[in-house]
């Protein structure tokens, strides 16, 4: 029973961390880098 509560609490903490992944927090997605890579790839395809 305690393990179940611990597992659920852990899942809740993980869900909170990944719920809003667009921003400037340490573990958010690196959107600037992703956009830069997409732009480079599109430019290479179109050139």
Report the C-alpha dihedral over residues 35, 37, 39, 41, rounded to 10 degrees.
-150
**Per-residue model confidence (pLDDT) at position 39:** 98
Q: What is the DSSP string of the chain?
A: -HHHHHHHHHHHHHHHHHHT-SSSSTTS--HHHHHHHHHHHHHHHH-
Q: Per residue in 28-41, pLDDT tens?
A: 889 999 999 999 99
> Mind listing the pLDDT tens digit for each residue in 2-26?
788 898 999 999 888 888 888 888 8
Residue 47 in this model has a pLDDT that exceeds 90: yes
Q: Is the pTM value of this prediction over 0.85?
A: no
The torsion of the CA quartet 2, 4, 5, 6, rounded to 10 degrees, works out to: 80
> What is the spatial distance between Cα 12 and Cα 6, in angstroms, rounded to a whole number?
10
Task: Kindly indicate the confidence band of residue 43, based on its pLDDT and cuts at 50, 70 and 90.
Answer: very high
């Amino acid at each position: 029973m305690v393990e179940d509560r611990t597992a659920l609490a852990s899942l809740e903490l993980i869900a909170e961390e990944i719920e809003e992944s667009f921003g400037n927090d340490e573990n958010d997605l690196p959107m600037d880098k992703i956009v830069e890579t997409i732009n480079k790839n599109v430019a290479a395809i179109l050139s």
